[in-house]
Structure 1
Amino acid sequence: MVAEKAGATVKTGTTEKTGQKTSKNDSEYLLTFARGLSVLRAFDSDRPEMTLSEVAAVTGLNAAVVRRCLNTLLELGYVAKNGRLFLLTPEVLGFSSAYLNSMNLETIVQPYLQDVSDKTGDSTSMAVLWRDEVLYLQHVSTNRMIRLAAGIGTRFPAYATSLGRVLLAFQSPQSIADYFDHTELVPLTSHTTTSRSTLEIILEETRAQAMPVFKMSSIMESFRFLCRFLPKSARFYAPSIVPPPPPGLIKPRSSRIACRF
């Protein structure tokens, strides 16, 4: 997949059409580096601390390879050790801060999201489609009792989220077909649509409407509407999302508030 913005091309680590990883036989591909990154990505909220064998099981790498990766990351300060357990250190935040600082999203986007949030009384978010997931880049929260549990760097399956669907809808037909070919459609709630044919219809409707509404598609969503942050001519979409109140409450003033971006 290749994303373009303001004349720049960004390679996501996958081929443009298939979405598959770059061939490990490519002379430009550093397998050791890729393994080190997979070890870093193995840690998450469900696995904040792991033993060497647990990291090996999560990554599918040989224990000896994982040991070398962990020891290297430990030496560089990206990983710490507590007895037999390994955990990430704040040093890894340097990767995300480098991206955020280079894109200057907080200065450019945050004021718009905050303005929409102030006018609707709801949280707003901006995200992009990264491989087969929605990746949140900016988020403005509210003081509501029920809030969107998402922050910068949060990822969710694209097929099960409204943000993901609007991003998928404006991909090329081949890219959409490739996405469904390699993505396992797993139900996250009793309302999650997992039928490929149904999802393809939803994506067609989304392209026509450009303002979809979804109900409880995933754990973190209730009722939401979206608009694309960039024009149709762009191939790199960053939609914003505003969650209207549940049925029975006052409806927000209109979707055009969100689309003033």
Structure 2
Amino acid sequence: MDSTLPETSEKKEEFLDSLANGLQLLRIYATGVASVTVQEAAEQLDVTRAASRRILLTLEKLGYVRQDGRQFSPTPKVMDLGYAYFASLSLPRLVRPVMQDVARALGETCSLGVLDREHVVFLAREEAPKLLKLDLTIGSRLPAYAHSLGRALLSTLDDEALDQYLENAELKRLTPYTTVSKTALRKLIRQVRSDGYSISVSELVDGFAGVAVPLRNHEGKVVAGLSVSMVLGARSPDELRRQHLPALQRAAATILDSMPRSSI
């Protein structure tokens, strides 16, 4: 009977309360909770405020949550742990029928993504039946500066946040056409901010292009971005704008109309 005690004691010694509480906190987000305060996390985890604060700040340092005032919310990096970011939220489910319509109407791949520090992270994709396409899946990460969706989202940052992004971003020449000057990139992003849409041509992958718009909720807050990507062919940026932008803008309006005013 006593032979089980050493094993139980050993297992208890190997159990890390701090790790368990950190994982439990991420599971709280998976239930649909959008954000928590230090006090709320302490109550949910049954720990002290000091312990709750350490857990949240550790997760923030690792990039799994972000702080906005007193609120801590999850970032797309939780996908790296196998968690389905937004799985319990409504946005991907809400936009999928609209994305399917866009993909069918344009014959191109339609994507939904969010900005996570220096990357754009894909939350949903609807593929068109094309032989040539980028091999991307939900959770894929691409450099924001070289992607139409990334630039559309970067354009929604305020000047201070954009300055911080440009200060930290490492701009690599991915193709002969990639913008690697931070001064030039800032000018492009400000133009996207003014236009309300982004077009990228051969900057991420030579021969591929993309058109993107930000998605806002009823309060005007940007919740994601919507894009279509395609093989460029002989089309000019102006042709891409005429052929694809109206459908994206209609899709963004449709998504806004279907959003509950109290969510996202």
Alpha carbons 2:106, 2:244 under 8 Å: kept: no
1:222-243 per-position Cα deviation (integer Å, ceiling 9, x unaligned): 1211122215953334111112
Match of 1:101 among 82, 87, 98: 87
Q: How many residues align?
A: 186
Q: Is the 8 A contact 1:127 1:163 kept in 2?
A: yes
Q: Which runs of 5+ in 1 are unaligned?
A: 1-7, 12-25, 39-91
For the pair 1:29 / 2:54, whether they are aligned, the reply is yes
Q: SS state of the match for residue 191, structure 2?
A: helix
One-letter amino acid matched to 1:183: A
Q: Which moved more, 1:127-136 or 1:212-221?
A: 212-221
User: Of Structure 1 and Structure 2, which has the larger fraction of its residues in helix?
Assistant: 2
Q: Secondary structure at the match of 1:186?
A: coil
2:109 paired with 1:119: no
Q: Does 1:259 align with 2:245?
A: no
2:154 — aligned with what?
168
Task: Give the partner amino acid of 1:258.
Answer: L
The unaligned stretches of length 5 or more in structure 2 are 1-32, 37-50, 64-80, 252-264
Larger radius of gyration: 2
Change (3 A) 1:233 1:174: farther
Percent of matched pairs sharing the same residue:
25
- How far apart, in 1, do the equivalents of 2:211 and 2:245 lie? 7
Matches within 5 A, 1:202-241: 202-219=188-205, 222-230=208-216, 234-241=220-227
SS in 2 for 1:28: helix
1:206 deviates by 0.5
Tell me the TM-score normalised to structure 2 length.
0.60
Partner of 2:122, secondary structure, is: strand
**Within 1, Cα distance between the matches of 2:207 and 2:225?**
15
Give secondary structure in 2 for the equivalent of 1:185: coil
User: Map of 1:38-187 to 2, 5 A cutoff?
Assistant: 93=82, 95-96=83-84, 99-187=85-173
